[in-house]
Structure 1
Amino acid sequence: MTRLKLSDIADEKPVRLTIELPARLHRELLAYAAAVNGGASAGAPTVERLIVPMIERFIATDRSYAKGRRAAQPG
């Protein structure tokens, strides 16, 4: 199996957010959840639990965003 970008999904108290996803993206997220679970759908994390670490990972690896944040910091 290839190395996935998500490795650990933290269990924190959530803030409620309602979003609509295209069905195609929802299917891809279900497939990704199964991949995170070693290929098995049973016991895989829910789509809702995948979204936060995916967004966090995206932000953490976005070089342009990090550069902009550093430039905006005083000092």
Structure 2
Amino acid sequence: MVDLKLNRLPDRTPVKLTISIPPDLHLALADYAAIYQQAYGDDQAIADLVPHMLAAFLASDRGFAKAREGLTERRK
């Protein structure tokens, strides 16, 4: 077997998630998409913004990161 510097890539298959949200949250997301378009001149659908918003939220949640370390250790 060849010894490559790059490890095997992880599974990057998207997972479809269907949710229902209240009207006020939908309005806030629509407003965010409109402000995003004004800021960057790039029109993006709410569905395209939400995964990045969730990732940013999770990445910034230190309590979640710390608690998740414990879960990861138990999975090994």
What are structure 1's unaligned runs of at least 5 residues? 1-11
1: CA distance, partners of 2:13 / 2:42: 21
* Greater Cα radius of gyration, structure 1 or 2: 2
Aligned residues: 62
1:69 Cα deviation from its structure 2 partner:
2.3
Which residue number corresponds to residue 23 of structure 1?
Answer: 23
Residue identity in the other structure for 1:49: D
C-alpha distance after superposition, 1:29-64 (max 9, x if no partner): 01100111116xx95211111110111011101010
Identify which of structures 1 and 2 has the higher relative contact order when contacts are C-alpha pairs closer than 8 Å and 6+ apart.
1
1: CA distance, partners of 2:16 / 2:68: 26
Taking structure 1 as the reference length, the TM-score comes to 0.65
Which residue number corresponds to residue 60 of structure 1?
Answer: 59
Which residue number corresponds to residue 36 of structure 1?
Answer: 36
Taking structure 2 as the reference length, the TM-score comes to 0.64
Percent identity among equivalent residues?
34
2: CA distance, partners of 1:13 / 1:43: 25
CA contact (8 A) 2:36 2:42 kept: no
Which residue number corresponds to residue 48 of structure 1?
Answer: 47
What are structure 2's unaligned runs of at least 5 residues? 1-11
Which structure: greater helix fraction? 2
